Amino acid sequence: MGKMSKTDVKTAKFSASAEMILALVLTCIIAALHFYFYRHAGGLWRDEVNSINIGRGNWQAMMHDSFPLLFPLMIRVYGGVVGSDWRVLGLLFGLSLTAAWWSAMWKVRRMPPLWSLVLMGLNSWIIIYASSLRAYGLGSAGIVLCFGAAWSFLERPNLLRWFCYGLAATLSVQVLYHNAALVAAICVGAMTVAAIRNQRRAMAGIVLGGLMAASTLLPYWHSITGITRSTYLKRDFFDATTALTNVQSILAFPLPQFFGFGWD
């Protein structure tokens, strides 16, 4: 390929600058929306109160929560060190997801996470539930960081980058159980890339990091397998109409006007 002309170089620089400025503006707007939710969310809802009660409870209660041990431990530490302004902790969870998008995208392409900010950062569901006193925001941030760490390890395999990847994978599954499926998907994708590049050591490192994360879930095996039995009567067969209705509910939350295409 030939060299780029001066005009093409200037155009590329202008486009990159415009994209960075837009991403920074969107980040500020998203941070403001999270702060707005923090100021106006009101009292804690049922599941948030449950998080606090379990975090203050005994170890046995923590092991049977909806989330692995790391999240209730954070609740306990925060309550003991900072106090009872729980909405601040939720705000930090929500902002951590935006920070994770920036970190992962910068590692992968040295570019701002423009599409993540537009499609997810401005989504009202993300803003509300990522900033709630539940593990969803922090867990989502963890899996995004795991993706970025896996990419970074593939680009330049070394012990430090492998440790960061393994740590990100482990912490992500220790916040949300279902992150285990996403870690497995990241491992499969990373192994495929390593196989194409004939990076056998990198492939082994990816597998080892994934196994390390999976092994930390073994203490929860009884709880994980028990979910299948306890929810059997609540499960329904897949129904296209219900699925489309759920999509509409997500896109139209919290106001019907948010759903731009409409099903009516």
Provide the pLDDT for residue 262: 42
- pLDDT tens digits for range 19-58: 999 999 999 999 999 999 999 988 888 889 988 888 887 7
Provide the pLDDT for residue 82: 82
CA distance linking residue 248 with residue 251, whole number of Å: 5
What's phi and psi for 176, nearest 5 deg? -130, 130
Provide the pLDDT for residue 135: 93
Provide the pLDDT for residue 261: 43
Three-state SS across 176-199?
CCCHHHHHHHHHHHHHHHHHHCCC
Please report the sign of the dihedral spanned by the C-alpha atoms of residue 135, residue 99, residue 258, residue 42: positive
Distances (CA, A) of 145 to 59, 87, 115, 140, 264: 28, 24, 16, 9, 39
Q: Evaluate if pTM is beyond 0.95.
A: no
Q: Which residue has the tokens 């804690």?
A: 44
Provide the pLDDT for residue 254: 57
Provide the pLDDT for residue 134: 92
CA distance linking residue 157 with residue 166, whole number of Å: 13
CA distance linking residue 231 with residue 95, whole number of Å: 33
CA distance linking residue 143 with residue 149, whole number of Å: 10
151: which 2 tokens? 């990419």
Provide the pLDDT for residue 137: 93
Provide the pLDDT for residue 263: 41
Low-confidence ranges of the chain (pLDDT < 50): 1, 261-264
Provide the pLDDT for residue 226: 63
Provide the pLDDT for residue 20: 93
CA distance linking residue 203 with residue 78, whole number of Å: 38
Provide the pLDDT for residue 124: 87
